[in-house]
Amino acid sequence: MSGKIPRSFIDDLIERTDIISLIDAYVPLRKKGGNHWACCPFHQEKTASFSVSPQKQIYYCFGCGAGGNVISFLMNYDHLSFVEALEHLAKAAGLELPQENKTYKPATTLYDVMSKAAAFYQAQLKKSSQAIAYLKSRGITGKLAKEYQLGFAPQAWDNLISHFEKDEKTQNDLLQTGLILKKEKVYDRFRSRIIFPIRDTQGRVIGFGGRVLTKEEPKYLNSPETVLFHKGRELYGLYEARRVLREIKYWIVVEGYMDVLALAQYEIRNVVGTLGTATTADHLNKLLRYTQNIVFCFDGDQAGREAAWRALQVALPFIDDKVRIRFLFLPQEDDPDSFIRKKGKNIFLAEVEKATSFSDFLFKHISENLDLTTLEGKASLSHTAALLLERMPESALKQMVYKNLSYVVSLDENRLRALSKEKKPDVFHQVQNQKQQSRPFKLEMTPLRQAIMMLLQNPRLCSVLSEKFFIEEWDFSESMILKEIINLYHTGSQMTSAMLLEYWRERQEHSLISALLMKEMFVSSEEKRESEFLQIMQSLERQHQENKIEKILMKGKVQGLTEEEKKQLQEMIAAVKAVIV
């Protein structure tokens, strides 16, 4: 989905959603005092330190530092993208996502069309002895076929069309979803094929794959690119894996539908398929939301090895000290489906454990046709490897790979890096923000953080600030947060705690804001709160003025002061006294 979602809609969605009800559906909460508590779902612990505030509509873990609002929870718990989390909340609230630039929003009716088509194909499978016999021959049970909603498209040209209404709107919907084609007349896209529904992370059918039962080509046929389905973004089996696995230690990435189903039949459920297309950055972004350990397992033939090499190149910008990418190379005559049926689950998993590291595969592949006993061979390896390695983010692993390359080619590491003329990439993977947010945040209170906390929890305190505070001039670390809160207040923004967290999403200050919003303030009355706040602000203003005075005095010792600067110094000293009064 493209187009920017208006901030006003996001804020309204946050306001409509009760965080207690949402989180309690995933993690049982127990009320204690003013908040609700549970053992944190984002790290292992025995004592509940995960706190949810019904008043502030935010959560915070005092153990690991995870914090956020209803959107953050869905993103981190269900591993959804930002837009997917909004879609989930909007659907629960009976709303559709608006977009500021009026980009086309897939209508709910298109999802309904896909769901109805999937049900039609499922019903047809039960009637086809040929299709059932084929699935049984491939080891697919009725239970698994039902879980993955497998179906069958009969041979006739108009079976699906006849199942739907004949009006123009329905026909347009079928054309938009790619279920039918139009030349001189309209006809079904899928005919005489086993049907594999492709579902998004919410379980909605967005596309189909079809495996022919005759000798007709192509053997496999996918839905075309539509407003619902983008082949390079989707992974077959991802939704099903997430339903049965609470924790995913590593992904096994295969190419085909039958590979996913064959491994699932042997109770290996951490498997996804790339729909027969090349691995993309979108695929990796999705997978890395769940685990940083991925094993690619493609067919053992030359085409499978070429697919693995392409996957490695796409993965390079994601590989750092925590992301582990490996490759399982099967015998030439095998694919994952045939291998596990011949060898069994235990041998397959043993092979997964022995999978080749990305660095071993990289060096083996690029040196295959090189004679490394010659200078020419070493030079070619140096240049090719350096170009590839510079696509990786900086990390200890990257340095070690360079060190290994340096040893093999007898060339200094710095000289190797200089061989690459490609611009070094920034950090590409979206999971970086999630990594940062999952690190425990140690909250150390300072006077400035105390002031920020009080403003976050009581924005009306902005109204007691007078002109004697030169906050715009403050250059303390984190003073920008204070300035932004004050600016938000003066623009008339009535932001709740949950909205404030959303405002700082994907910024490094997010963890600090989350911790400060949940920190208890022990001030008995509004009057005392204002008094304490003003005392802190006066202290900070005095510190700011004293810093300025110190800089001028230092200059006076080195260069001397002009009459104008002496006058300015006297005014500053007077200002400090005024703050103290």
Three-state DSSP at 489 gives helix
pLDDT value, residue 205: 96
The residue among 478 and 237 whose pLDDT is bigger is 237
For 484, residues 6+ apart whose C-beta sits below 8 A from its C-beta are: none
Could you give the C-alpha distances from 225 to 98, 152, 190, 365, 527, in angstroms and in order?
Answer: 22, 21, 15, 33, 62
Q: Note the CATH number of domain 103-229.
A: 3.90.980.10
Answer yes or no: is pLDDT of 311 > 80. yes
pLDDT value, residue 74: 92
Q: Note the CATH number of domain 7-92.
A: 3.90.580.10
Q: Which CATH fold would you assign to the domain 367-418?
A: Pheromone ER-1 (1.20.50)
The answer for 282, left when phi > 0, alpha when psi is -120 to 50, beta otherwise, is alpha
| Local confidence band at 438 (pLDDT 50, 70, 90 cut-offs) | very low
pLDDT value, residue 107: 52
For 39-53, 121-135, 506-520, 565-579, which range has the lowest pLDDT when averaged over its residues?
A: 565-579
pLDDT value, residue 426: 37
CA distance 137 to 219: 17
Average pLDDT, the chain: 85
For range 210-222, the mean pLDDT: 88
Three-state DSSP at 54 gives coil
| Local confidence band at 422 (pLDDT 50, 70, 90 cut-offs) | very low
Q: Note the CATH number of domain 439-580.
A: 1.10.860.10
Express each pLDDT in 153-174 by its tens digit: 999 999 999 999 888 889 999 9
Three-state DSSP at 209 gives strand
Terminal CA-CA length for the chain: 57
| Local confidence band at 577 (pLDDT 50, 70, 90 cut-offs) | low
Answer yes or no: is pLDDT of 424 > 50. no
* Residue (of 151, 24, 159, 16) closest to 86 by Cα position: 16
Answer yes or no: is pLDDT of 179 > 80. yes
Answer yes or no: is pLDDT of 106 > 60. no
Most confident of 75-79, 147-151, 285-289, 471-475: 147-151
For range 423-429, the mean pLDDT: 37
For range 304-311, the mean pLDDT: 93
For 144-148, 303-307, 518-522, which range has the lowest pLDDT when averaged over its residues?
A: 518-522
pLDDT value, residue 102: 47
| Local confidence band at 536 (pLDDT 50, 70, 90 cut-offs) | confident
Q: Where are the domains of the chain?
A: 7-92, 103-229, 367-418, 439-580
Express each pLDDT in 340-388 by its tens digit: 999 999 999 999 999 999 999 999 999 998 999 999 999 999 999 999 9
For range 407-421, the mean pLDDT: 85
CA distance 318 to 560: 55
Alpha carbon 46 to chain centroid distance? 28
The residue among 45 and 372 whose pLDDT is bigger is 372
pLDDT value, residue 427: 32
Answer yes or no: is pLDDT of 482 > 70. yes
Express each pLDDT in 242-291 by its tens digit: 888 878 899 999 999 999 999 999 999 999 999 988 898 889 988 988 89
Q: Do 254 and 308 meet the contact criterion of CB atoms below 8 Å apart?
A: no
For range 43-65, the mean pLDDT: 89
Q: HSE (CB half, 13 Å, CA atoms) of 528?
A: 5
Quick check: pTM over 0.85? no
For 9-23, 47-61, 441-455, 492-506, which range has the lowest pLDDT when averaged over its residues?
A: 492-506
| Local confidence band at 423 (pLDDT 50, 70, 90 cut-offs) | very low
For range 576-581, the mean pLDDT: 58
pLDDT value, residue 518: 85
* Residue (of 502, 513, 450) closest to 476 by Cα position: 450
For 136-150, 243-257, 423-437, 472-486, which range has the lowest pLDDT when averaged over its residues?
A: 423-437
